[in-house]
Structure 1
Amino acid sequence: MNIMADAAIVQNCYVVTDLEKACARMHAMFGIGPFVGGAETVLTEHRYRSKPAPPIRFRGVFAQSGDLNIELVEVLSTGPSAFHDMFERGQQGFHHTAVFCEDYELQRDAWVAAGFEVASEFTSHVAGRVCYIDTRNPLGHMVELYPPSADLRALYAQVRQMSARWDGRDLIVPR
């Protein structure tokens, strides 16, 4: 099965219980930083397993590790979502990989046609329409699909540049 032949994994995301502690731990373990972001974000027009659902509220940051973007997410909302499918409140761990799609809807529908369910789909103020495909069986995690968003690619470039110039002082910096 080859659903996304030319797609490159651009991000690994971890759900964390305390964003500041997780940034400090990732820096201590892997030397990465700075972590960009940290403000509360709301993902609107949320559909959970094809049904309308409350928005997802979270705090998140992006960092760079070589060519890979790292996202840390502290989920604040309690409603159903792809995040809560994997981690109950108070739990943390690896949640998803992310890929850019040249044709978001075509790629999303290809995953569904291959037997995978869209766990959560929502609108992000940076990327537009985004979804998590439930690939826990066979991968053990979700796959996030991005549309071809210039704003999101610019954010990734900003994080990469900030990482290259980082002086090691401020671990978490606002966007």
Structure 2
Amino acid sequence: MTSISVTPGQTGPHLMQAAFIVDDVEAAARAWIATTGIGPFFIVPHIELAEASYRGEPSAGIDFSVALAQSGGMQIELIQQHCDRPSAYRDTIAKGQTGFHHFCVYTDDYDACRQRYVDQGHAVAIDGKFGVMRFCYIDTSATLGCMIEIVEQDDVQTSAFTKIAQGAADWDGVTDPIRPLFD
């Protein structure tokens, strides 16, 4: 049997990220570090998307923060929604609750990947852009028990994923457990 290694940021049909909704992204990152030893976590605070739609309607966007860490071939994402606007996050995890939310697929054929889920009858909960990179959340909760996020391959995103993976590979388990992802 041949062993296949998945490199963070590598495109393909594999699930490269598991994401959780939390009340306090930094406290949750510290809890993950203390409990699992996974780290460091890279923080992106108060993201507000310039372009987004929620369930097919234009959205004012949501204010949220994320923390990301690498664990082997799987990236862990912690998400804190700061506002009370409707979102894919609140669709499955109520305000004040925490829990597993989605798996992520990173793809170099975004349109075909997204269409594959739509053709199966799954609703698109969020369509958005982070910079020039497109992403969406597909509501597969009725069939999979969670959502699927699709992220379009982008050089900036690949660089960020590489930074997260390299941070984990080089981490001594103590130094700078919480770091900014972008300067």
Same fold (TM over 0.5): yes
Q: Which runs of 5+ in 1 are unaligned?
A: 1-5
CA contact (8 A) 1:38 1:172 kept: no
How far does residue 173 in structure 1 lie from its aligned partner after superposition? Answer: 0.7
Q: Partner of 1:3 in structure 2?
A: none
Q: Pick from 26, 30, 38: which aligns with 2:32?
A: 26
Aligned residues: 169
In 1, distance between residues paired with 2:26 and 2:51? 28
Q: Does 1:69 align with 2:80?
A: no
Q: Partner of 2:6 in structure 1?
A: none
How far does residue 77 in structure 1 lie from its aligned partner after superposition? Answer: 2.0
In 1, distance between residues paired with 2:133 and 2:84? 23
In 1, distance between residues paired with 2:139 and 2:99? 16
Higher mean displacement: 20-29 or 131-140: 20-29
How far does residue 121 in structure 1 lie from its aligned partner after superposition? Answer: 0.9
Q: Which runs of 5+ in 2 are unaligned?
A: 1-11
Q: Pick from 96, 103, 115: which aligns with 2:109?
A: 103
Output one character per residue of 1:74-102: Cα deviation in whole Å (capped at 9) or x when no partner: 11121111011011211111111001122
CA contact (8 A) 2:15 2:105 kept: yes
Q: Partner of 2:134 in structure 1?
A: 129
TM-score by length of 2: 0.88
How far does residue 124 in structure 1 lie from its aligned partner after superposition? Answer: 0.9
CA RMSD of aligned residues (A): 1.3
| Moved >6 Å (runs of 4+) | none
Q: Partner of 1:84 in structure 2?
A: 90
